Chains A and B, each alone.
Chain A
Amino acid sequence: MKTFLKELIDIKNWKKKTKITGIVVLGLFALCVILALMKPSEADMKAQASEEMQELLKKDETGTRKRVTVTYNSLIIINYCSFSSSGANALSEKYVGFAGHIFRADEGAGKFTGQMVNYTYRMLGSGENILHGAKLTLFLTTLSMVIGVAFGTVLALGKISKNKVISKICSSYIFFFRGTPLMIQLFVVYYTLPAVFGFAWRDLFSAGDEQAVYKGAFIAALIAYGLNSGAYCAEIVRAAIQSIEKGQHEAAKALGLSYGQTMKLIILPQSVRRMVPPVCNEFVMMLKDASLVFAISLMDITTISKNIMTSEISYNVFLPALVIYLVITAFFTWIFDAIEKKFSLYE
């Protein structure tokens, strides 16, 4: 880390490629800051409503039913505001704010831009808690992979253990969780377990909490995903361990190391490098499998985009969805590459 920082400060000796990248990144950052500062304010955007809309909004204040939904989405450099009434004769007005100007966004390029901002904002789960959209996908995938790798290592060591009972238990566990679909495992954890043991996932949280149902569902999902990815990771870890030459085991034994010491000090550190690419693979698969949580009431990126598709009658929604998935995947591939490099010292 220290050497990395030292190299970072020493701008004069940067490689040419790094210099160019640095300039581009800084330039983009400065542009974003300028655009973000020039962006029209929330109050200005909300003041755009036409007289007709203002009247409807006024009516809502006294009525028992709300008829107009005011949407305000802000994405760093651009913001979007819309007023839409519901029902068979719905009215809607849309505005996009960018670089100090407010544009109507009811048709053409403006409409498309507005849609993109609104869809991206919703899919990222901005303005909501951690159980929505991209935040949910990231949180669930990362946590279940952490559980999966830790649990998978234990299972893998169990499976190659010389103790037959432990080995059989671990093998059957892996067989079961790799042999059944994740969706059904999710259903079993969320529906069957509470029915059999007489509890409710929601009861883990207070009854007055309106989000309790979703939080309960998230815990259930995390357990199901963790158990499932544990089984897959176990096989990855086992393959990595067994790919280390037998000679190393023998050498360690000759030096008088115990089995535990051999694993901890010699075998596992070397097998990490061989584990990284398949674990990254598993991570990316998990990222996309996270969309199965729609079955237990949670809204991830895929579910939100399907929802938008039905309510807006628009297929444009898949554009930002693809981009968001690609950005997430690119980021994690980069991290896994770095880890792989760090552990490749000896190969």
Chain B
Amino acid sequence: MTADLALIWPELILTIGGLITLMLGAFAGDRRVALYQIVALLTLAAAAAAVAALFGTDASVFSGTLAVDGFGGFAKLIIYAASFVCIAIAPRYFGEAMRAEYSALIVFAALGMGIMASSRDLMTLYVGLELNSLASYVLASFMRSDDRSSEAGLKYFVLGALASGILLFGISLLYGFSGTTDFAGVAVAMGGGIDIGLLFGIVFVIAGLAFKISAVPFHMWTPDVYEGAPTPVTTFFASAPKVAAMALLTRVLIDAMGPAGPALAAWQQIIIFLSLASIILGAVGAIGQKNIKRLLAYSSINNVGFMLIGLAAGTQQGVEAVLTYLLVYVVTTIGAFLFVMQLRDADGRMVESIPAYAGLSKRQPGLAAAMAVFLFSLAAIPPLFGFWPKYLVFEAAVNAGLVPLAVAGVVVSVIGAFYYIAIVKTMFFDDEAESAIRNDGSRIEGAVIAVSALWLSVIGYLFIPMLAVAAASAASVLF
């Protein structure tokens, strides 16, 4: 028991840090924004350090319900880093409305996501997922007085609750037909053949998790929630929970259902469908969008589809590709949402409408160039680094014999390119819009944008060997 506790330092740190933040908020009042922000940031940094210190361990704790391994570590580092950024950027956005709960909720969400990424049991899976979800519902409606924000929170909650129900139903079926909630035990049961109960279990569990990664056809909430939630929260939704849910889905598919045997055929076709549907709908749905946050929501659906291509391969190479993709995607997404946060109109309101970006490159050349890098990178146009993860997932698919899937994926990626370059067109080709857009970003935000844009330009390629080693050691845990 004590030995187990020593292995979950990151989770312990987050729990204690989150509680301290909450207490500070209750006793020190809402004015001391900087104080609990710093506490929350330090908590996340400490947790990340703890994860780094635990690298190389491969153990199961608490009777095999939670894994402490490289795979979880890789995902947790991205999650904590993304959460860190989302806390750091918040005060300027919220201004007077900033409260201690924001930081605390993100820390708790990060805790839940860490548990998701390292769960090895259907019950811990559910606990982690709900911990994250509940924090997320509140975060979505964080601007209480804002209609859109409240609506986003409510929508997210109702649909999220439905998805949780579906997931629980699937879990109960898996438990009922395999007699265990342990991933390894479920895998053993699946190895003996898939009967109708297990099959239903697989379908419902995947459906519940597909909601979390917003894969089509469980994506409906995404554009509304992304648009309605405050931008720092949207940044958060688009980054960290995607990593957690994707890691969780990977673990469930590979650990609990098995990368080979009868289960593979069962889940592979579902994932292939989800991936193609997400890619196509994400690409087509984005074309008509005028709001940048809605557009980025469709873009995230589209990107999830590409990640699922890697997952559909069901090989170690595929999982490595997914992990690399997640990292690059999170960097790009955070950069793109930070860009959205930089621009305000003359009245100080956020500018979220794409036509208002017209001619931005003349007034804000640096910012427009950075956004162009993010967009071309999302469209996976080399030499930008966004090309590399897409290459990896296609390679994994081709090597796993899924050539038609790869071909369909690349062809649809051209449709996706259309709306990305349409934004570049608005920023670079169009004449300046009349309404003045000013950039009132802080230095920190500018620095984050600059660093991520630079990394996504050709410089990222130099990190490929490092990334490959990290992703390989993380993915090898599952096989």
Interaction A to B: no
A interface list, Cβ under 8 A from B: none
